[in-house]
Chains A and B, each alone.
Chain A
Amino acid sequence: QVQLQESGPGLVKPSETLSLTCTVSGGSISGHYWSWIRQPPGKGLEWIGYIYYTGSSNYNPSLKSRVTISLDTSKNQFSLKLSSVTAADTATYYCAKYECTSNVCYYLGYWGQGTLVTVSS
């Protein structure tokens, strides 16, 4: 059973870069697609983007200029960096695994528990 665990600072200052890591256990990061999603307090879910184990990625157009998702197969981890953060980036950040067949992805099958990141000075 795949398990995902987010980790990183819970508090980030405005204009700085938010950095989070998702550690995957119970399965290999290789061969799969991985995603980040966020949810501001009291609001809905927002897809941030995904990365394939080869390193190819795709991002939400509204965040694309500030987002980088990368991975480290040796550590079975993937990461999120969001630059120039403001209070609007305060959210619970989730990592998740796509379920795919023959490189066509259909849904997010496994989720981490989420981690709250607050942007404040």
Chain B
Amino acid sequence: EIVLTQSPGTLSLSPGERATLSCRASQSVGGSYLAWYQQKPGQAPRLLIYGASNRATGIPDRFSASESGTDFTLTISRLEAEDFAVYYCLRYGGSPTFGGGTKVEIK
């Protein structure tokens, strides 16, 4: 079973700053089968990125993502007020697995 480890657990930043979130897989994910989600309180997760680096429909270009082997990164270039939330990575295909999440909070 693939385990996804997200870091840091919490990221304290100010609006306008750059956020870099990490998701490390315990073994090869294979085929870039990795997605990123944003979740706000009281809401279901919202798809941001799929295929490791493809933005979902309607996602602003300040969100970008990349992969390097078993390391995946979500970058928010300039944080806006609505970006403060919890972010999860998901490995899909086979038996889907979520990471534990990174909370991006206002500093």
Partners in one complex: no
